[in-house]
Amino acid sequence: MFVPKRAFIDEEALDYPHGRKILRRLKQQGETDITVMPSGGRVTSIPGSTPGDAYRQGKMSLVVRVLGRMDFPTCRPSADYALPITTGCPGSCEYCYLITQFGRKPYLTVYANVDEILDRAAQYAAQSSQNITTFEGAASSDPVPTERYSGALESAIEHFSDRSDSRFRFVTKFDDIEPLLSLQHSRHTLFRFSINTEKVCRDFERGTPAVKHRLKAAARVSDADYPLGFVIAPVLLTSSWRRDYRALLESVVETVGDTPVSFEIISHRFTDAALRKIRQIFPDSDLPLQKSRRMRRTGRYGHGKYVYPPERLADVRSFFEQSVGDLFSGASVDYVV
Measured distance CA(255)–CA(271) in Å, rounded: 35
CB atoms within 10 A of CB 42: 9
pLDDT at residue 303, as a whole number: 74
Identify whether the C-beta of residue 241 lies closer than 8 Å to the C-beta of residue 235. Answer: yes
Which secondary structure element, helix H or strand E, spans residue 78, and what is its range? none
Q: What is the DSSP string of 192-245?
A: EEEE--HHHHHHH--SS--HHHHHHHHHHHHHTT--EEEEEEEE---TTHHHHH
Which domains does the chain possess?
1-182 (3.40.50.12110)
Q: Are 255 and 322 in contact (CB under 8 A)?
A: no
Q: Tens-digit pLDDT profile for the chain (337 aa)?
A: 899 999 999 999 999 999 999 999 999 988 999 999 999 888 888 888 888 898 999 999 999 999 999 999 999 999 999 999 999 999 999 999 888 877 677 899 999 999 999 999 999 999 999 999 999 999 999 999 999 999 999 999 999 999 999 999 999 999 999 999 999 999 999 999 999 999 999 999 999 999 999 999 999 999 999 999 999 999 999 999 999 999 999 999 999 988 999 999 999 999 999 999 999 999 999 999 999 999 999 866 667 899 999 999 999 999 999 999 999 998 999 999 9
According to the model, what pLDDT value does residue 103 have?
64
Taking the model in full, what pTM does it have?
0.95
Degrees, nearest 5: CA angle 240-242-244: 65
Query: What single-letter DSSP state applies at residue 88?
Result: B
Give the pLDDT score at 91: 95
| pLDDT tens string 242-282 | 999 999 999 999 999 889 999 999 999 999 999 999 999 99
**Residue 131 has what pLDDT?**
95
